[in-house]
Structures are given as C-alpha cells and as structure tokens.
Structure 1
Amino acid sequence: MTTRIVDVAHTAAAHRTPAGPHQDLDAARQAVATGLDVDDAAELIHGDRLRLGPQLEPGLSNERCNQGGWGY
C-alpha cells in the first residue's frame, strides 16, 4: 500500500509541476508532503521535491527533508 501511495503522489507532483495548463504548484507541494509523510525515504518523492526547487515553501523543504536526515 505504501508503494502505491508514493507512486500516486509522484504522479500527481510530476503532472502538476511543469509550466502549462495543468500546472498547480499547491497540488504538487501537497503531493510531495503526502508522499514524504507515507515514506520519508522515497527517492521519487525527493526527486519531485528537488524539481519544485525554489517554488517550495521553506517550511516544507526544511521540515520534511531534515526530519529524515537528508539535510538538503
């Protein structure tokens, strides 16, 4: 079940991040936060977080990644 949640979170973030008619950065941030809540070691979700880059809210970037000891 964890893998499926992470996969859906990744799909949502990947779909909502690029510029275009489907871009919704709030939805992408929520998907990343949900994915990290479920599995804080999921590489797909950390990659999505990095792709959001400067568009991330500082609280999400620092809070979620530092909890897992990733520190970036």
Structure 2
Amino acid sequence: MFSPLRRPALTRSVLKRAIQQNHRSTICSKPPKEKIGPMQSVFALCVFAVTLLAPAGWIMHHIPNYRQRSPPQP
C-alpha cells in the first residue's frame, strides 16, 4: 500500500511541534547598554526616507528630458 519513497503527510500539529522543538530562543534578559534617544531615531528615519525617495524624485524630475530623447540606435 505505502511506497517506501513516499513519506506520510505531516499534520499541522506534528509540524508545529517539530518547529517549536528545534527553535532556539534569542531573548535577552538585560536592558540595553546604551539607550537610543529620539534625535537618533529621527535622524535614522530621515536618512532612510531620503535614501528611498531621492532616486525616485530625481527620475520624476527628469521625465520630460527622458521623453524628448530619441530612442537608442541598435
């Protein structure tokens, strides 16, 4: 009936139990050595936003120039 090459299907509970047994927790019990203030957080968010939005803004600003160019010759 059962083929030796075919494994029986794992149920969700068996799979969940297997994952939980192999999971190692990485929870720290100590408070952080240095606290990050609001200025560092704001600075980091601003740098992140500029990094993402600057290239998109550059492209959108130059769309008229891109439209006026002739297509490249093969």
Task: State the TM bucket, normalised to the shorter chain.
Answer: under 0.3
Bigger Cα Rg = 2
The structure richer in helix per residue is 1
TM-score w.r.t. length of structure 2: 0.24
